Every structure is written in C-alpha cells, then in structure tokens.
Amino acid sequence: MSCSSSSSASEDEDEGFDSYRKGGYHAVRVGDSFSGGRYIAQRKLGWGEFSTVWLAYDTRSSEYVALKIQKSAPQFAQAALHEIEVLSAIANGDSSNSKYVVRLIDHFKHAGPNGQHLCMVLEFLGDSLLRLVKYNRYKGLEMNKVREICKCVLTGLDYLHRGLGIIHTDLKLENILLLSTINATKDPIRSGMTPILERPEGNPNGGVTMNIIEKKLKQRARRAAARISGRRASMGGVGGTPKSNRSLDGIDLRCKVVDFGNACWADKQFAEEIQTRQYRSPEVILQSGYSFSADMWSFACIAFELATGEMMFTPKGGQGFNEDEDHLAMMMELLGKIPRKIAIGGARSKDYFDRHGDLKRIRRLKYGSLDKLLVDKFRFSEIDAHEFTEFLGPLLDFEPEKRPTAEQCLQHPWLNVKNLKKTEMKSESGVEKVNVGMSKLQIKVGR
C-alpha cells in the first residue's frame, strides 16, 4: 500500500462505510488532531483488516509520520498491544535506526464515537515492493537492483532473527516498503507539501461516507475502462501495442521490513498456520514446526519475484485436490522430490502423502529445475541463472535446518557479484599490462 507503514492496506478497494461502527474503524477527517494535539491528520494512506493508516504531521518534531489507528473491538486492541510489544523491542534494540526494520515512534489510546482505539505512530515510508513490481509492469528488475533490495531485507531479517529472536511470519512484497515514494509528488517532503494544521472549512461530518462513495464510483469507472481496453487489445485494435520499459534509475531502492501484527518470538509461538499462501513454506503446510528458516523460504520467494516479475508458486485447488496439495506438487516439480522423512513428518502429512512419501492425489509430476526455468521462461543468461540459483537454491531446501541464515546469506558471493566483476576487470587489465611489459622486455633482451 502506497506510502504507508501498514502493508496489509489496500488501494484497490476501500474499507467500506459499514465498518465505521461500534468496535470498528475510527472516522478521521483531514485536520483532526491526536494525542493532545501532537499529531494532525493530513490524508489517508490506506487501510487494513484491523486498521486505517493516515499521513500525519508531528507538531513536536516537525516531521511527517504514519498514524495507524486500530479498530476498537477488544480482539483488535489485543492484536495492537502485541504489535506494539514487538515494535518496541525492535526500536529499543536499534537506536541508530540502521537495521532496515520499520521504527515505532509513539503509541497512545484515542477515544472516539466507535470506542477506544489503540494508535501507533510509525516512521513515514514509501511504496511497497509490490507497487514497485507493478510500476515496472511485472517485468523482472535488473539483477543489481534485486541485490540492493535483498541486502536491505537480509539485514533486517538478521537483526530480527539473531538479534531479537523474532520470526516475522508474513514476509511478502506488500510487507517491505521503500524508504521513499516512487513518485516524488506523493512524498510530503520532496513535494514541498505544506502541513495542514487545522481542519479545513466545509469538511462535513459525512466526509468519510462521501469519500468512500466517490472512490467506489471511480473504481467502477476504471474497471469499465479496463474491460473496454482489454477487448480492444484482444481485437488487435487500440491498446494492443506493448508498453515500453520503465526506468527505475533515480528511485531509492533502500527498503524496510514492516507489519509485525503476526510476528512472534521463536520461543513463544501462537499460530500453527502462518505466512501468506504463495510465500508459505512446506513445514508450515505440513505442520511439522517452524522457526526462523520459514522467513528465509518466504525471502527466497520474494527475491524470485523481484527478479522475474512473477510469483514462484501460485497454487490452486482442482478436482480431487486442494490448494495445499497443489502447492506441494509445484514445489516438487521445481525443486525435486520432498525427502520421505520430511513428507511424512508433519501433523498434516497423512492428508497429502502416502507412507512412501508420494502425493496421494497428484501422481504425475513434471520435474524441472530452477535454473532451467529462469533461462527458458524468463530469458536469463546461463551465467545469471546459474549464479542466482546458487544463491536461491539452498534457501528452498525442504529441510528447514539446512537453509542458510540471513547472516550467512549476507556473505554469499552473489550479493557482491557486482563488486567481484569490477575487481576481476581491474585485475585482468593489470595482467594485460604486465604481459605487455614482459613482451617488451623479451624484445629488448632478444636484441
């Protein structure tokens, strides 16, 4: 979700007016103040299942922040308290704010007509990696740009795992935000936005209702236009020409891990089913226990998506089998057969595997390999495919304990291949100079 520290927020749909009731969202208007007048609402950034997120101006620090306002019902308040606990531990251990994890600035309670809402104040960040991939028209990013993003995410994961003992449990493109917006006009600092310090005149109490109705009408109009454009394209008419590539040069690709609503301490887990479907690890599907390595599996899926523009796994249920079984089948087709001890070792293994470790309902698998897929489908060079597979392959080991840690990944040659190539070029040119010098020396000696 653009410009927010709540990655579960969406800009494709709206939260719906019905959710503004007792126990639900707090209705916010531009210019509303929070925490004794310290924070002033500027504009809505987005929303999630549990909260809405607003750009706010901090009158004490004179900085823009993201204000996350939780629904007021007890279960949402409980979830917010957990997230505050995790975010406080993160902030307390990173005084220099250098670990590429979102920073909690403040938290407080706000009383409104729908109840008491827990509020979190987070540093203002830019667009999600999902928005970046969309902006890039679902084409793969240049490998050096993928490396740059991976280094930030791995630094954050190393801090969470090794430094704090926290498992994120829901890593995906939406939950990693760039430090600034792709479009400079959306950034309140770069665009030179003047903060709103009081409620604008003529903003009626029905502002929330009207805002949602207007957005819904605009969404319908956009969908209708997209359908017409799609029909024209399929008929070979207007809109049929391919779009040109967009340049990502000049976009700051530094990013931070966000959204800790589902995070847990490794020694204090509270959910068996974690992770968004496409990023879910095999041990979670089979319920054989999980740890930090589950995050590393999700990270590998993210890296693949950045490099190709497509998700690694998009399982669907079919006749006689469900999404989980299709997901396991897709994993095996790409990565090889799951070792029998892993296949039959989980609480849900019997739902999918027979005693030999073969899937019960999906029998015919078309085995391939990661590097072949990168070359054949995504047109990687043999060298790039090989190097990228060397980096990703170990992270996708079916045995969780064999996957490298974030700390180990940061040492991997693939992350520093740009520097290696420069060094090699320098050393090669040095060798050439020496050879030229030697040949001259030999000529002189020959005379």
Return the axis-axis angle of helices 417-446 and 143-158, rounded to nearest 10°. Answer: 120
Q: How many helices (H) and strands (E) does the chain have?
A: 13, 10
| CB-based contact 29:56 (threshold 8 Å) | no
Q: What are phi and psi of 404, to 5 degrees?
A: -65, 155
Q: Hey, which bits of 14-83 come out as E strands?
A: 33-34, 39-47, 51-58, 63-70
| CB-based contact 160:123 (threshold 8 Å) | no
Grouping H, G, I as helix, E, B as strand and the rest as coil, residue 183 is coil
Burial class (CB in 10 A: 0-12, 13-18, 19+), 134: middle
State how far Cα 423 lies from the chain centre.
32
Give which of 379, 374, 308, 303 is closest to 147, Cα–Cα: 303
Question: Was 360 annotated as part of a binding site?
Answer: no
- Whole-angstrom Cα distance, residue 224 to residue 205? 31
What lies within 8 Å, CB to CB, of 44 at 6+ separation is: 28, 52, 53, 54, 55, 211
Asked about 170 being catalytic, the answer comes back as yes
What lies within 8 Å, CB to CB, of 398 at 6+ separation is: 282, 331, 335, 338, 339, 342
171, two tokens = 């890593």
Among candidate residues 32, 58, 158, 170, the one labeled active-site is: 170
What lies within 8 Å, CB to CB, of 341 at 6+ separation is: none
DSSP for 287-320 reads: TS---HHHHHHHHHHHHHHHHHSS-S-----BTT
Burial 420-433 (b: 16+ CB within 10 A, else e): eeeeeeeeeeeeee
Going by the annotation, the residues of the binding site are 68
Residues identified as active-site: 170
Residue list, annotated binding site for ATP: 68
